[in-house]
Amino acid sequence: MLQHEIYKIYGTDYKDMTIRILEESNLQEAVRNKAEAMGINDATQLRIGIKPNLVAPTPASFGATTHTEVVAGIIEYLQARDFNDIKIAEGSWVGDKTSDAYEFCGYKTLCENYDVPFVDAQKDGHHTVDCNGLDIEICDVVNDIDFLINVPVMKGHCQTRITCALKNMKGLIPNTEKRHFHSMGLHRPIAHLSQGIHQDFIVVDHICGDLDFEEGGNPVVRNCIMTALDPVLVDAYVCKLMGLTVEDVEYVKLAGEIGSGSTDVEHARIYDINEGNMDKEAPRDNKVLRVKYAVNEVDSCSACYASLVPALLQLEEEGLLEKLDSQIAIGQGHQGETGKIGIGKCTRNFDFCVMGCPPDTEHIYEELKKYILG
């Protein structure tokens, strides 16, 4: 597989599809090339890390977390070629414990079945890395990995619009740094993180990701798996699949500008292994954009914004949202400010505040409904 290539495979037997696409895109060769670059003769000695997306304890069918079948396929492919020093590493988002997602999403069973250790990045130590001029705290497990296989879910995101290869690396920073990312506006730190954690190979779970929300709930079935070597290129391609341009997703553009990869999708070679399926990828309506006009968001945490949007969509469906007399403030950037309506403890000084950190969707919906109806 070459740097400007993206491979795709469609089907419903996710483990077999994964093994097939890894054979076609020659993962083994990529590991060998890395070993050679590191001056290691025996490539099977490389410490391989697999980074899935276990953002929260929800089933993969909800569209937020990486299917275990995909990771099982990667492990089987590697173990069949004597790559046995494998670990899985991940840290869930701030609102949930990785240990819950590890069990609930089937990773405990997976790790036991294949005798592969799991590293909970939320419990790991961390160290400062200069990521192209921006200091970022990165989990220590990254230093114990020679070859990193990133296995993100292709999803929508209510703040950054897409999340895939680049943003999935946020699971390898401590919770304190995740909060800090939000206070820095997400795009710049995500782009710079691509310089602090090198992704060697990407396997995208594009089976049924939620194309609106990072935490899932509205899966869109595509039954596709993609592979690539360049995280920026694959994210740029995801922008295209979702009807966006690279300019629409600032961190992808920025990651390209600081040298983490190419955004040149037009010159990429997209190879459909089982051919004839590309028409399944028609861009679709983005629900989040429908209600964005009602929100004044400044540096909000993902979990907080993700709670708000479904509540607004419900109010919109009931014809109530348009009756709001003010924009809704949300995010750490509103701390200490005053105003009319706010969501979360960061807006506690507002005249009307739905408290919580983060408040849940049901609570937000009920409180805003009461406010609107007087």
The one segment of 61-69, 109-117, 168-176, 297-305 that binds ligand SF4 by CB under 6 A: 297-305
Total residues contacting ligand SF4 (rule CB under 6 A)? 11
Q: Does 300 bind ligand SF4 (CB under 6 A)?
A: yes
346 binds ligand SF4 (CB under 6 A): yes
The residue number whose beta carbon is nearest to ligand SF4 equals: 344
Exactly one of 188, 345, 363, 369 binds ligand SF4 (CB under 6 A); that residue is 345
Figure out which of the listed residues 116, 301, 306, 311 binds ligand SF4, where binding follows CB under 6 A: 301
Judged by CB under 6 A, which stretch of 192-200, 221-229, 257-265, 339-347 contacts ligand SF4?
339-347
Q: Does 342 bind ligand SF4 (CB under 6 A)?
A: no
Which residue, 290 or 345, is less far from ligand SF4 as judged by CB? 345
For residue 332, state whether it binds ligand SF4 (rule: CB under 6 A): yes
Minimum CB distance to ligand SF4 smaller for 89 or for 368: 368
The alpha carbons of the chain give a radius of gyration, in whole angstroms, of 21
- The answer to the question of residue 344 lying near ligand SF4 (CB under 6 A) is yes
Q: What residues from 124 to 143 belong to the interface with ligand SF4 (CB under 6 A)?
A: none
> How many other CB atoms are found less than 10 A from the CB of residue 191?
25
| Least Å from the CB of residue 359 to ligand SF4 | 7
Measured from the CB of residue 358, what is the shortest distance to ligand SF4 in angstroms?
4
Long-range contacts of 118-122 (CB under 8 A, 24+ apart): 118/87, 118/88, 118/89, 118/90, 119/87, 119/88, 119/89, 119/90, 120/90, 120/91, 121/89, 121/90, 121/91, 121/171, 121/172, 121/173, 121/174, 122/91, 122/92, 122/97, 122/98, 122/174, 122/175
By the 10 Å C-beta count (0-12 exposed, 13-18 middle, 19+ buried), 283 is classed as: exposed
What amino acid is encoded at 307 in this protein? S
The reply to whether 358 sits near ligand SF4 by the rule CB under 6 A is yes
Q: Which two tokens stand for residue 365?
A: 């919906």
Q: Per CB under 6 A, does 331 bind ligand SF4?
A: yes
Which CB, 265 or 364, lies closer to ligand SF4? 364
State which residue, 151 or 364, has the beta carbon closest to ligand SF4.
364
- Sheet with 48-52, side-by-side order of all strands: 118-120, 86-90, 48-52, 147-151, 201-206, 224-228, 5-10, 269-272
Minimum CB–partner distance for residue 122 and ligand SF4 (Å): 17
Comparing CB distances to ligand SF4, the nearer of 52 and 91 is 91
The three-class DSSP label of residue 173 is coil
Nearest residue (CB) to ligand SF4, 64 versus 164:
64
Q: How far is the CB of 334 from ligand SF4 (least distance, A)?
A: 8
**Torsions phi, psi for 74 (to 5 deg):** -65, -45
The CB-of-366 to ligand SF4 minimum distance in angstroms stands at 17
Extended beta strands in the chain, E state: 5-10, 48-52, 86-90, 118-120, 126-131, 134-139, 147-151, 155-157, 161-163, 201-206, 224-228, 269-272, 295-297, 328-330, 341-343, 352-354
Stretch that binds ligand SF4, among 64-72, 142-150, 299-307, 321-329 (CB under 6 A): 299-307
For residue 257, what are the CA distances in angstroms to 5, 130, 247, 360?
A: 19, 17, 12, 37
Asked if residues 3 and 264 have their Cβ atoms less than 8 Å apart, the reply is no
Residue number, 310 or 344, with CB nearest to ligand SF4: 344
Query: Nearer Cβ to ligand SF4, position 190 or 204?
Result: 190
- b/e for 137-160, b at 16 or more Cβ within 10 A? bbbebbeebbbbbbbbbbbbbbbb
304 binds ligand SF4 (CB under 6 A): yes
Query: Shortest Cβ distance from residue 57 to ligand SF4 (Å)?
Result: 18
Q: How far is the CB of 317 from ligand SF4 (least distance, A)?
A: 24
> What are the residues binding ligand SF4 (CB under 6 A)?
300-301, 303-304, 331-332, 344-346, 357-358
